[in-house]
Amino acid sequence: MLVWIVFALMTVAATLAVIVPLARGNRAATPASAHDKAVYRDQLAELERDRERGLIGAAEAEAARAEIARRLIRADAAAEAAGGRRSWARPAAVAAMVVLPLVTLGVYAGIGSPTLPDQPLRARLDAPPDPNDVQQMIARVEAHLVNEPNNLEGWRVLAPIYGRLGRLDDAVRAYREIIRLEGPTPPVSEALGEALVAANGGLVSEEAQAALDAAVAADPERVKARYYRALGLLQSGRNAESLAEYDEIIRRSPADAPWLEPVRESRRQALAALGQPADTAEPATLPPRMAAGPDAGTMAAAAAMSPEERAAMVDGMVQRLADRLAEAPNDPAGWMQLIRAYGVMERPDDASAALKKAEETFKEDPTVLAEIRDVAKSVGLIP
Amino acid sequence: MIVEIGHFALVLALALALLQSVVPIVGARRDDAALMAVGGPIALAQLTFVGLSFAALTYAYVISDFSVANVYENSHSLKPMLYKVTGVWGNHEGSMLLWVLILALFGASVAVFGRNLPASLKANVLGVQGWITVAFLLFILVTSNPFIRMNPAPFEGQDLNPILQDIGLAIHPPLLYLGYVGFSISFAFAVAALIEGRIDAAWARWVRPWTLAAWIFLTAGISMGSYWAYYELGWGGWWFWDPVENASFMPWLLGTALLHSAVVMEKRNALKIWTVLLAILTFSLSLLGTFLVRSGVLTSVHAFATDPARGVFILMILCVFIGGSLTLFAARAAQLTQGGVFAPVSREGALVLNNILLTASCATVLVGTLYPLALEGVTGEKISVGAPFFNLTFGPMMIPLLMAVPFGPYLAWKRGDVLGASQRLMVAFAAAIVATLVAFYLTSGGPVLAALGVGLAAWLIVGAFSELVTRARFREAGLATGLRRLAGLPRAAFGTAVAHAGLGVTLLGIVGVSTLQVENILVMTPGQTATIGRYEVTFDSAETRRGPNFTELVAHMTARKDGEVVAKMDPAKRLYTARQMPTTEASIVTHGFSQLYVTLGEESERTDQLVVRMFDKPMVTLIWLGSLVMMAGGLLSLSDRRLRVGAPKPARAASAAPVAAE
């Protein structure tokens, strides 16, 4: 409603700007010949100055003066007869009062969206979130981190998502922020190294190598870190060390590990670089183990999904987790994961419900309770 | 709501423009003072509403309102505030809104500063402005509306082209538009005169300051664009004869002719037809420039054909305004009474020569710009017309013009004396000879053309100022009186001298850089030293760095002259990751008027090697400093009080003036 009042006021102002000068009536305008005469007199004065400076010869100046004088006389003769016709001020005013509102409303009604309010970034951030929109989720967290760059949880959420969306530089930045805030941990160092390699188009930079070294040193079971580390060693010509690293991976992997094939492929490159035959014997693997959790196939499928599909998949996973906990509630890690997920997805009601149930379940176990409360705190559920 | 208020204001501006284009002109035809008086207030209301609309769009950019499609397509919530604001005109729709805003600004200026204009002329001028405004507002609302909304709003925007995220492009388009659109005033005056069938005596006095202002802005816009291309594109060139550049250069050439033509008309009532025609053509070329850049026809004739709505609309605007005004000209030109007579050798005659040469050189640029488009449209063959064509056609026409420039101010009105002028120019001629010889000696018998070019530049600069000295008559009157006389000279005389000298300065820069520049392209490894002109450049090391939204490869280099370190240089190649867009960041060291310019070329096979392009560019900054000097000349001339048109004097004073003149 307010917007229509403003539109009406604007139209009235525009109409007034037209009809007020019309209503002021027929002021006598200075006749054009008077303007001309003023200029001709200026020209005579200018001519005199030019003659003084020698810009025009004496004879030419005389001729020019005669020219200007003739024009002055003509201008005098042209003193026009005042127009005795009636002014069209009234019809013009009526036309303005009709044309302005009609044209404006007619055109605007066709192309405007008068009912649509402004939607500044702030307002969109405050609006209820749409859990299916990954971009929106990212933007929300980003906006949050601009004001609160030390929010560890925010960076934790963003870093892997960036990586999956191919925003590799952003992923690297996010992993660096995590390390800045909590110090290096094996999983984060490994992820940083991987992101750096991907961002550099497969080249293992010095920074990446250092991060991977740190990850492997702190946690020897980091297969992925070992894999990229070996790649880096090979790239910098330390072929023997690279081969040793590949062998180490094989030694630590179950026989049915999905990564063994690519590792063997890379190992053959290391062998070729060393000039050894491609079928040089490799160390024994660990016995096979049934794969658990989201297998490589699921992960690969996730990477190929559109953001909407991926968000749906995340939703589904969270829902399955919630269902499982409803049946088998005695799973502290599961509850923490669920609360964190709801927190990230900005579903505070679900998060507090989950927290309440978890507190209920573990009210006899103060350690677990404290851990769960920490998680709740980290997503801002409780102060 | 604010966005919709802006949208509504834009529509309201269209309705006002419709009234503005009809009511004052009817008033002028019927000699109806009330109707004529409406033009001014409408023009002011027009500025208010277009301004409101522009402010609303800017607001939408500042608050990142992505429910506005235009904001969503060209902004990003994390972009620095400066580029959020400049993003308003960093895209097609917004830049057209800026175009109309400047048009409204000029219209309102006529309304405010035109109090002394004859009522009918003012009414007609504002009416013609109204037509242009209607055309462009319709264009915006029909094909390029920046206020189209999207619901629901996307959460994040698509960001602005990284090349446009530069302070240079924040200022360059508004300056250029101030120049382009400024010429619409001259155009409106010309068409108004043709409608009336008579030219008031004050006409040229009125047209001149507007033309001068537009010319100053256009000069600034073009030279700014040239410097931006020089430092950002990394090719080391300052002018590429690129169609976009030509599009702004053509109105400049004709605008320069118009400026000089208007002087003759103002003082001598001569060259009326020239002036009116130049006013029409200058603005037509401004429109053509807008069309070339905005329709997408330059990227590809076929891209234009696949999305024709915009291009066809601008083409229609071009046809109506250029065709219409030229038809009007053909019908009415004969009625324009001839003014003062003059001999072929005279100030007037010199300015006719100036007009002819500038118009002809503009025509060659036009041919060189449009011919490839026409050829591609007809046969599908793609050719590019570049520097060789323009050097062969444009150059030979500029050289006689530049040689003639110092003569102009020395020739008297009506009948001049070439011999006398030559005698007074002896000093300048001697200076030119000396400069040629010195240049020849300093370059140790280097290119003869360079020495001659330096001589021509000296001829222009010394010639421009010697005219002032001659006018002050130092020789006859002595130093003290001479100085007094010098101070008493009108500012426009200083403006002429300064602007002509600026031309000489720019020429000096062009000659210096095109004949004496030393270029070296080579593959370098760290530790290697290369000689370039007067410098040795050592490549110390290279590193990869990360910026907020790009990665860059930086080479650290040290420039030495005679063994002493002159500067540390860090040329870089950037890759903007979001759009996978590479840019080069040239490293430029200025010393005196010369520059050492180092940029990184394509990467070579091995990672420890870099392709480096180095230029020693003597006197290169003079190209842009010269255009600053030209602008200063224009400002001096603009500030000359004598150019302001006085109100008609009361009868008593009126009768006194002719007596005094007798």
Rounded to 5 degrees, what angle do the CA atoms A19, A22, A25 make? Answer: 145
Q: At what angle do helices B347-379 and B387-404 cross, to 10 degrees?
A: 170
The answer to whether A169 contacts B546, with C-beta atoms less than 8 Å apart, is yes
d(CA B14, CA A100): 9
* Coil, helix or strand at residue B543: strand
Nearest CA in chain B to A48: B661
Q: Does A8 touch chain B (CB under 8 A)?
A: no
Distance (Å) from the C-alpha of residue A3 to the closest C-alpha of chain B? 6
DSSP assignment of B583-622:
EEE-EEEEETTEEEEEEEEEE-SSTT-EEEEEEEETTTTH
pLDDT-derived band at A226 (thresholds 50, 70, 90) equals: very high
Residue B231 is predicted with a pLDDT of 82
Say yes or no for a CB contact (<8 Å) between B413 and A48. no
Of B7, B30, B642, the CB nearest to A88: B30
Residue A286, in any domain of the structure: no
Task: List the structure tokens of A301.
Answer: 């499928």
Is the domain of A10 the same as that of A95?
yes
User: Which residues of B are less than 8 Å from A28 in CB distance?
Assistant: 33
Tell me: pLDDT of B599 over 50.
Answer: yes
Does one domain contain both A161 and A258? Answer: yes
Q: Are residues A242 and A355 in the same domain?
A: no
- C-alpha distances out from residue B187 to B96, B104, B199, B351, B444, Å: 19, 15, 14, 20, 51
CA distance B574 to chain A (A): 14
Final residue belonging to a domain, choices A56, A82, A111? A111
> Is residue A283, in this structure, part of any structural domain at all?
no
CA distances from A348 to A354, A356, B482 (A): 10, 12, 87
Same domain assignment for residues A195 and A308: no
What is the average pLDDT value for chain A, to the nearest integer? Answer: 81
Quick one: pLDDT band at residue B657, thresholds 50, 70, 90?
very low
Residue A215 lies in a domain: yes
Residue B334 banded pLDDT, cuts 50, 70, 90:
confident
As a whole number of angstroms, the distance between CA A143 and CA B213 comes to: 45
Instruction: Suggest the residue from A85, A121, A141, A175 to mutate for an interface test with chain B (most B CBs closer than 10 A).
Output: A121
Q: What was the pLDDT predicted at B660?
A: 32
Residue range B246-269: average pLDDT? 89
Tell me which of A266 and A287 has the higher pLDDT.
A266
Distance from CA of A339 to the nearest CA of B (A): 25
Written as six digits, the tokens of B418 are 């070439």
Residue A125 falls within a domain, yes or no? Answer: no
Contact B201 A35 (CB under 8 A): yes
CB atoms within 10 A of CB B108: 22
Interchain contact A72–B (C-beta under 8 A): yes
Instruction: Confirm whether A140 is domain-assigned.
Output: no
Confidence band of B654 (pLDDT split at 50, 70, 90): very low
pLDDT at B149 over 50: yes
Chain A from 239 to 298: CB within 8 A of any B CB: none
- Compute the nearest-CA separation of B79 from chain A (Å): 12
Q: Closest to A83 (Cβ–Cβ): which among B18, B31, B577? A: B31
pLDDT at B417 over 70: yes
Tell me, yes or no, whether A200 and A255 share the same domain: yes
Q: What is the pLDDT of residues A1-21, one digit of tens each?
A: 788 999 999 999 999 998 888
Q: Name the band, by pLDDT with cuts 50, 70 and 90, for residue B190.
A: very high
A67-81, B120-134, B198-212, B338-352: which is most confident = B120-134
| d(CA A108, nearest CA chain B) in Å | 6
* B52 → chain A, closest CA residue: A10
Residues of B in contact with A104 (CB under 8 A): 8, 11-12, 14-15
Interface of A with B in 29-68 (CB under 8 A): 29-30, 32, 34-50, 53-57, 60, 63-65, 67
Of A205-214, B96-105, B476-485, B628-637, the poorest mean pLDDT is in: B476-485
Q: Which of B16, B340, B551 lies at the smallest CB-CB distance from A67?
A: B340
Q: Which of residues 113-152 of A touch B (CB under 8 A)?
A: 113-114, 116-122, 124, 133, 135-136, 138-140, 142-143, 146
Q: Token pair for residue B542?
A: 């290279």
* B154: closest chain A residue by CA: A136
Please spell the DSSP secondary structure of A38-79, one letter per residue: HHHHHHHHHHHHHHHTTSS-HHHHHHHHHHHHHHHHHHHHT-
Q: Is residue B652 pLDDT above 70, yes or no?
A: no
Average pLDDT for residues A169-187, to the nearest whole number?
88
d(CA B529, CA B537): 5
- Closest chain A CA to residue B27: A88
Question: What distance in Å separates residue A294's CA from the closest CA in chain B?
Answer: 30
Same domain as A269, residue A160: yes
Q: Which residue has the higher pLDDT, A120 or A290?
A: A120
* Most A-contacting residue of B2, B14, B19 (CB-CB within 10 A), to test interface: B19
Of A53, A82, A111, the domain-final residue? A111
Measured distance CA(B11)–CA(B141) in Å, rounded: 8
Looking at every residue in chain B, the average pLDDT score rounds to: 84
Worst-scoring range by mean pLDDT, A193-207, B42-56, B472-486? Answer: B472-486
CATH code: domain of residue A359? 1.25.40
pLDDT in the model for residue A303: 64
Q: Which residue has the higher pLDDT, B116 or A244?
A: A244
- A116: CB partners within 8 A, 6+ apart: B4, B67, B149, B151
* Chain B residues closer than 8 Å to A100 by CB: 12, 15-16, 19
> How high is the pLDDT of residue B649?
44
What is the per-residue pLDDT for A28? 59
In which band, very low, low, confident or very high, does the pLDDT at B298 lie, cut at 50, 70 and 90? low
The answer for A 152-191 residues in CB contact with B (under 8 A) is 168-169, 172
The verdict on a CB contact (< 8 Å) between A48 and B5 is no
Does the structure show a pLDDT above 60 at A174? yes
Confidence of residue A304 (pLDDT cuts 50, 70, 90): low
Q: Give the range with max mean pLDDT: A325-329, B4-8, B602-606.
A: B4-8
* Binary contact (B35, A71; C-beta < 8 A): no
- For B557-593, write each residue's pLDDT tens digit: 999 888 888 888 988 888 776 566 777 888 888 888 8
Q: Considering only B43-52, B444-453, B543-552, B645-654, which range has the smallest mean pLDDT?
A: B645-654
Residues of A in contact with B645 (CB under 8 A): 35, 38-39
A235 and A308 share one domain: no
Question: Is the pLDDT at A253 greater than 90, yes or no?
Answer: no
**Per-residue confidence band for B326, with pLDDT thresholds at 50, 70 and 90:** very high
Is residue A321 a part of any domain in this protein? yes
Return the number of other C-beta atoms located less than 10 Å from residue B172's C-beta.
Answer: 21
The whole-angstrom separation of Cα A224 and Cα A191 is: 9
User: Which residues of A are less than 8 Å from B138 in CB distance?
Assistant: none
Across the interface, which of B8, B37, B546 has its CB nearest the CB of A27?
A: B37
Name the residue among A63, A69, A136 with its Cβ closest to that of B155. Answer: A136
Percent of chain B with pLDDT over 70: 91
Q: Which single residue is written with the structure tokens 């009414």?
A: B123
- For A99, list phi and psi in degrees, rounded to 5: -65, -50
End-to-end CA distance of chain A: 41
To the nearest whole angstrom, how far is the Cα of B340 from the nearest Cα of chain A?
7
Report yes or no on A299 lying in a domain.
Answer: no
| Structural domain that includes position A335 | 304-378
pLDDT digits (tens, 9 = 90+) for A103-133: 999 999 988 888 888 888 777 777 776 666 7
A7 and chain B in contact, CB less than 8 A: yes
d(CA B540, CA B520): 18
Determine which of B16, B22, B140 to mutate to test the interface with A (most A C-beta atoms within 10 Å): B16
Give the model's pLDDT for residue B656. Answer: 34
B561 has which bridge partners?
B564
Residue contact A114–B18, C-beta within 8 A: no
Same domain, A229 and A317: no
Out of A259, A274, A289, a domain closes at: A274
State residue A78's pLDDT score.
65
* Cα–Cα separations (whole angstroms), residue A343 to A145, A151, A354, B182: 15, 14, 11, 58
Same domain? For A309 and A232 the reply is no
Cα–Cα–Cα angle for B587, B589, B595, rounded to 5 degrees: 110
The interface predicted TM-score (ipTM) is: 0.81
Residues of chain A neighbouring B347 (CB-CB closer than 8 A): 55
Residue among B619, B623, B627, B560 nearest B595 (CA): B619
Whole-Å CA distances, B514 to A281, B120, B238, B239: 68, 52, 10, 11
User: Can you tell me the mean pLDDT for A157-176?
Assistant: 85
| pLDDT for the residue numbered A297 | 59
Segment B449-457 shows an average pLDDT of 87
Whether A136 is covered by a domain: the verdict is no
Clarify whether residues A261 and A153 are in a common domain.
yes
Q: Angle, nearest 10°, between helix axes A206-218 and A223-235?
A: 140
Q: Compare B598 and B269 and report the one with higher pLDDT.
A: B598
Cα Rg for chain A, rounded, in angstroms? Answer: 41
Predicted local distance difference test score (pLDDT) of residue A291: 41
Question: Is the same domain home to A329 and A243?
Answer: no
For chain A, the farthest-separated pair of C-alpha atoms sits apart, in whole angstroms, at 119
Cα(B409)–Cα(B421) distance, integer angstroms:
9
Q: Of A135-139, B208-212, B361-365, which range is least confident?
A: A135-139
CB-nearest partner of B200 from A35, A65, A205:
A35
pLDDT, mean of residues B221-235: 84
Number of domains chain A contains: 3
- Residues A83 and A157 grouped into a single domain: no
Q: Does A88 touch chain B (CB under 8 A)?
A: yes
Q: So what's the pLDDT on residue B662?
A: 29
pLDDT in tens, A64-118: 888 788 878 877 776 555 455 677 888 888 888 998 999 999 999 988 888 888 8
Contacts of A55 in chain B (CB under 8 A): 347, 412-413, 471
At CA B341, angle to CA B339 and CA B343, rounded to 5?
A: 150
Q: Cβ–Cβ of A83/B14 closer than 8 Å?
A: no
Pairwise CA distance, residues B647 & B200, whole Å: 14
